Amino acid sequence: MTFDAVAIGDRIAALHRAAPLVQCLTNAVVMNFTANVLLAAGAAPAMVDIPGEAGPFARVASAVLINLGTPRSEQRSAMLEAVAAATEAQRPWVLDPVAVGSLPVRTALAARLLEFHPTCIRGNPSEVMALAGAGVGGRGVDSVATPDVARAAAQQLALHHHAVVAVSGPVDLITDGTTDIRIGNGSPLLTKVTGGGCALGALTAAFLGCERHTALHAVAAATAAYTIAAEMAAEGVAGSGSFAVRLLDALGTLDGDSVRRRLALA
Amino acid sequence: MTFDAVAIGDRIAALHRAAPLVQCLTNAVVMNFTANVLLAAGAAPAMVDIPGEAGPFARVASAVLINLGTPRSEQRSAMLEAVAAATEAQRPWVLDPVAVGSLPVRTALAARLLEFHPTCIRGNPSEVMALAGAGVGGRGVDSVATPDVARAAAQQLALHHHAVVAVSGPVDLITDGTTDIRIGNGSPLLTKVTGGGCALGALTAAFLGCERHTALHAVAAATAAYTIAAEMAAEGVAGSGSFAVRLLDALGTLDGDSVRRRLALA
Amino acid sequence: MTFDAVAIGDRIAALHRAAPLVQCLTNAVVMNFTANVLLAAGAAPAMVDIPGEAGPFARVASAVLINLGTPRSEQRSAMLEAVAAATEAQRPWVLDPVAVGSLPVRTALAARLLEFHPTCIRGNPSEVMALAGAGVGGRGVDSVATPDVARAAAQQLALHHHAVVAVSGPVDLITDGTTDIRIGNGSPLLTKVTGGGCALGALTAAFLGCERHTALHAVAAATAAYTIAAEMAAEGVAGSGSFAVRLLDALGTLDGDSVRRRLALA
């Protein structure tokens, strides 16, 4: 199967038809924006993240997102419950290892979560390198390295865990360990909106929730859709506040035409 | 007393004069938007939701909102403390039973909360039917049924708990079990903003906090005010991001004139 | 050193160069807006607020914000851990005592936190008076007194704890107990956006994180920058929703020229 603008457009249309139910166990800072990104893109978010509910819900969700940004004790339990259930019910799930490497509680949690084999790991270069054991994150939540620097770590991580690994940056890298896809769309303003990366993790789960095959292409399509919408939102914008609003607007109007005009495979 | 545009306009003006203090024990996803909706409409939000504080605060609040969207352990204790205090101090309170029926922890909690007789229960058709024992919710957080389907369940729930029940949908239904009010205002974009329904629960508490009599009309006035503001916000809007921003703007300018021009009792 | 528009402009430029890492242990309602304010202004937010991580992170952060708006049990432990580490590592930290005085759990917590000598205490008049033992807060989260009424309390609090105290209001008062700075910029719309005050606490930490000397001037510069951006955002705005968006935009473009044109020392 080829990965091109037509294939991405088809996946965007499929997502609108399926309206996948995406369970998010994510950090407290970005819950609202994440849910609004999913709604704008045509998915159905559900932030079910307490023990006793997270597991049962993961069995019926289309996909699950685990984001380690603010992993409180109760949420950590719910995360383990959710990924165990998702694994058993063969639901795809995405791990976003925010600030892993430099902070001890989430680093230990990430190690346990990895045993359940995420369908996709999405992070910045520092986080991906930390997960792969190739280094530790810079200042915790932002990244000092570039996607290319993290390439070897991403490939190694993908092969070791049979996962698709997506590394964010000016050029996004998506790899299953043998095939790389590089996407050059996006806007620096994404780094000026909190949850700019986290929301992509949720959207990635939404795309994975529409199909179980060719996870590499589903992850790449999510990345392309999101970063192209960001590009549209950034044009002539007054600042980061307006950009976040327009990103939601753009996700709602994004279609195959926009992708064909703008896709920048790198 | 008649329920018409003039009566709604009077209640909007009364809310601006009273600036009711609305205590919200609500879900983590929508706290920010809920507080901003209350502020825009002229109320004073206070998200006091920890044990040891929730009870004392409920005694001085004008009204209390209990929303079950992300009911963590500590918040569950605070909810029970708040409604016990609200009941004792005769404060009105609103129950928003998010995803009740399909998820076990909150379903058990809702049963305990109902013993304290909420002034108003606000939900989507699936949630109202689940609470009334007439069925279980669809996919958890969104609704598969329509308000009309839930009408019998809403009336039964209202009579059983001596509560006003508000069922959201393209046409909103508000009932005390004997009198129904149906309001046809609103916008489909409300379903594209996370907390679009939850914020109405908080605004309902605000309207109830201005007066203790004719709860049916207070709940209906809140619904009308909110859905008319949504209609104003939706006109010519670029997408769900801009819509949420403009909904806050519209709530700040809403007055009796807007209501008279737009009210669509159905 | 003089405190004037040029000095403030220099500090804004310094913040952009330093991109201080600001650790926020803040309330659940305003986390998202707070992070976006910091990002817009050029700082790097990190909401690390769980036990076991809050302390280690405080040692490497440029500054720490402690905001008591929704102090859940786990976060309370993390707050004590963070300020102990910040004190030991000589990091500046800001205390925002939301609704202290009228609510018991946070009032007791604030007393323990004060023993670690915050670099700055930022609050509304009621909160500052409650901390100083001069009275108790009005309705909890909003303020009934004016900054001038709280002046004596602010000075006493500053001298007793060797802290800079900032009292918000139509005219903001910043004092170290001997020197007062009064800033008349701002917009009433700041009281219509939840976290309008809380975000200033975080921005104050960011300015303090760029330098350790002349804390009085750093706090005043943060207040001036924020309230001038608010003034810019308020011009011709349609309501509180648009205002919040434009405030983020304005913080991103704010520079020495804007400050020189608008600064209103009172």
Q: Do C106 and B53 touch (CB under 8 A)?
A: yes
- Which tokens is B148 given? 């009309």
CB-based burial label for B111 (10 Å; 0-12, 13-18, 19+): exposed
| Interface mutation vs chain C, best among A240, A243, A249, most C CBs within 10 Å | A240
Q: How far apart are CA A169 and CA A155, in angstroms?
A: 16
| Interface mutation vs chain B, best among A26, A27, A57, A198, most B CBs within 10 Å | A57
pLDDT for res A2: 84
| Interface mutation vs chain B, best among A22, A25, A36, most B CBs within 10 Å | A36
- Which tokens is A216 given? 């590499």
Distance from CA of C249 to the nearest CA of A (A): 4
Q: Do C241 and B21 touch (CB under 8 A)?
A: no
pLDDT for res B141: 47
Q: Do A139 and C46 touch (CB under 8 A)?
A: yes
Q: How far apart are CA C91 and CA C94, in angstroms?
A: 10
Amino acid of residue B200: L
Using CB atoms, pick whichever of B46, B74, B252 lies closest to residue C72: B74
Distance from CA of B34 to the nearest CA of C (A): 9
pLDDT digit string, tens, across residues A59-86:
999 999 999 999 999 999 999 999 999 9
Size of the A and C interface in Cβ pairs below 8 Å? 92
Say how far residue A130 (Cα) sits from the centre of its chain: 17
Q: Cβ neighbours of residue A120 under 8 Å, at least 6 residues apart?
A: A92, A93, A94, A95, A163, A164, A165, A166, A204, A205, A208, A215, A219
pLDDT for res C138: 45
Among C2, C45, C7, C1, which residue's Cα sits nearest to residue C259?
C7
Q: Do A53 and B104 touch (CB under 8 A)?
A: yes
Q: Is the pLDDT of residue B144 over 60?
A: no
Q: Do B241 and A36 touch (CB under 8 A)?
A: yes
Q: Could you tell me if A29 lies within 8 Å of chain B, comparing CB atoms? A: no
**For residue C193, which residues of chain B lie inside 8 Å, CB to CB?**
36, 39
Q: How far apart are CA A78 and CA A83, in angstroms?
A: 9
Q: Could you tell me if C13 lies within 8 Å of chain A, comparing CB atoms? A: no
Query: What is the CA angle A27-C46-C240, rounded to 5?
Result: 75
Residue A1: band (very low, low, confident or very high) from pLDDT cuts 50, 70, 90: low
Query: Which residues on neighbouring strands pair with residue B66, listed in sequence order?
Result: B25, B95
pLDDT for res A138: 45
Q: Give me the interface pTM, i.e. the ipTM.
A: 0.95
Average pLDDT over residues C119-133: 95
Q: Could you tell me if B245 lies within 8 Å of chain A, comparing CB atoms? A: yes
Q: Do A104 and C32 touch (CB under 8 A)?
A: no
Say how far residue B46 (Cα) sits from the centre of its chain: 16
Is residue A175 within 8 Å of residue A155, measured between CB atoms? yes
Using CB atoms, pick whichever of C21, C39, C57 lies closest to residue A240: C39
CATH number of the domain at B142, please.
Answer: 3.40.1190.20
pLDDT digit string, tens, across residues C131-156:
998 654 444 445 556 667 899 999 99
Q: Do A36 and B193 touch (CB under 8 A)?
A: yes
Using CB atoms, pick whichever of C103, C192, C238 lies closest to residue B39: C192
pLDDT for res B211: 74
Q: How far is CA C67 from CA A27, A41, C246, in A?
A: 18, 34, 24
For A70, name the nearest residue in chain C, comparing CA atoms only.
C48
Q: Is the pLDDT of residue C251 over 60?
A: yes
Q: How far apart are the first and last CA of chain C?
A: 18
Among B236, B206, B229, which residue's Cα sits nearest to residue B63?
B206
Beta-strand pair A63-67/A93-96? parallel
Using CB atoms, pick whichever of B21, B28, B48 lies closest to residue C103: B48
Q: Could you tell me if A194 lies within 8 Å of chain C, comparing CB atoms? A: yes
Distance from CA of C102 to the nearest CA of B (A): 9
For A54, name the nearest residue in chain B, comparing CA atoms only.
B103
Q: Do B52 and C104 touch (CB under 8 A)?
A: yes
Q: What's C177-237 look like in SS3?
A: CCCEEEECCCCHHHHHCCCCCHHHHHHHHHHHCCCCCCHHHHHHHHHHHHHHHHHHHHCCC
pLDDT for res B145: 61
CB-based burial label for C115 (10 Å; 0-12, 13-18, 19+): exposed
Q: How far apart are CA A160 and CA C71, in angstroms?
A: 41
Average pLDDT over residues B138-144: 50
Chains that touch B (3 or more CB pairs under 8 A): A, C
pLDDT for res C147: 65
pLDDT for res B140: 46
**For residue B110, which residues of chain A lie inside 8 Å, CB to CB?**
none
- The torsion of the CA quartet B219, B224, B227, B230, rounded to 10 degrees, works out to -120
**For residue A53, which residues of chain B lie inside 8 Å, CB to CB?**
103-106
Distance from CA of A21 to the nearest CA of B (A): 8
Q: Do A45 and B104 touch (CB under 8 A)?
A: no
Is residue C157 within 8 Å of residue C123, measured between CB atoms? no
Distance from CA of C230 to the nearest CA of B (A): 16
**For residue A142, which residues of chain C lie inside 8 Å, CB to CB?**
44
Q: Which phi-psi region, left, alpha or beta, contains residue A99 (left: φ > 0; alpha: ψ -120 to 50)?
A: left
Q: Is the pLDDT of residue C70 over 80?
A: yes
Instruction: Return the percentage of chain B with pLDDT > 90, whole number.
Output: 91
Distance from CA of C1 to the nearest CA of B (A): 40
**For residue C56, which residues of chain A lie inside 8 Å, CB to CB?**
103-104
pLDDT digit string, tens, across residues B74-83:
999 999 999 9
pLDDT digit string, tens, across residues C168-210:
999 999 999 999 999 999 999 999 999 999 999 999 999 999 9
Average pLDDT over residues A15-19: 96
Count of domains observed in chain A: 1
- Which tokens is A42 given? 């045509």
Q: Is the pLDDT of residue A129 over 50?
A: yes
Distance from CA of C9 to the nearest CA of B (A): 31
pLDDT for res A139: 47
Q: Is the pLDDT of residue A134 over 70?
A: no
**For residue C72, which residues of chain B lie inside 8 Å, CB to CB?**
50, 74
- Which tokens is A134 given? 């190739």
**For residue B79, which residues of chain C lie inside 8 Å, CB to CB?**
none
pLDDT for res B137: 44
Chains that touch C (3 or more CB pairs under 8 A): A, B
User: Domain range holding A215?
Assistant: 5-262
3-state secondary structure of C249: helix
- Which tokens is C194 given? 């939840």
The single-letter DSSP state of residue C100 is: B
DSSP-assigned states of every residue in chain A: ---SHHHHHHHHHHHHHH--EEEEE--TTTHHHHHHHHHHHT-EEE---STTTHHHHHHHSSEEEEE-SS--HHHHHHHHHHHHHHHHTT--EEEE-TTBTTBHHHHHHHHHHHTT--SEEEE-HHHHHHHTTS---SSSSS--S-TTTTHHHHHHHHHHHT-EEEE-SSSEEEESSS-EEEE----GGGGGSTTTTHHHHHHHHHHHTT-SS-HHHHHHHHHHHHHHHHHHHHTT--SHHHHHHHHHHHHHH--HHHHHHH--B-
- Which tokens is B108 given? 């058990």
Q: Could you tell me if C197 lies within 8 Å of chain B, comparing CB atoms? A: no
Q: Do B39 and C239 touch (CB under 8 A)?
A: no
- Which tokens is A145 given? 């390295």
Q: Do C47 and A28 touch (CB under 8 A)?
A: yes
Beta-strand pair C21-25/A180-183? unpaired
Q: How far apart are CA A22 and CA A20, in angstroms?
A: 6
pLDDT for res B2: 84
pLDDT for res C95: 98
Q: Could you tell me if B241 lies within 8 Å of chain C, comparing CB atoms? A: no
Q: Do C29 and B47 touch (CB under 8 A)?
A: yes
Q: Is the pLDDT of residue A168 over 90?
A: yes
Size of the B and C interface in Cβ pairs below 8 Å? 92
Q: Could you tell me if C44 lies within 8 Å of chain A, comparing CB atoms? A: yes
The single-letter DSSP state of residue C154 is: H
Q: Is the pLDDT of residue B85 over 90?
A: yes
Q: Do A31 and B28 touch (CB under 8 A)?
A: yes
Distance from CA of C139 to the nearest CA of B (A): 8
Which strands make up the sheet holding C120-123, listed edge to edge? C44-46, C21-25, C63-67, C93-96, C120-123, C164-167, C172-175, C180-183
Average pLDDT over residues B187-196: 98
**For residue A40, which residues of chain B lie inside 8 Å, CB to CB?**
192, 239-241
Q: Could you tell me if C32 lies within 8 Å of chain A, comparing CB atoms? A: yes
Q: How far apart are CA B196 and CA B190, in angstroms?
A: 5
> C102-106 long-range CB contacts below 8 Å, 24 or more apart?
C102/C130, C102/C136, C102/C137, C102/C138, C102/C139, C102/C140, C103/B48, C103/B53, C103/B56, C103/B57, C103/C140, C104/B52, C104/B53, C104/B56, C105/B50, C105/B52, C105/B53, C105/C71, C105/C76, C106/B53, C106/C68, C106/C71
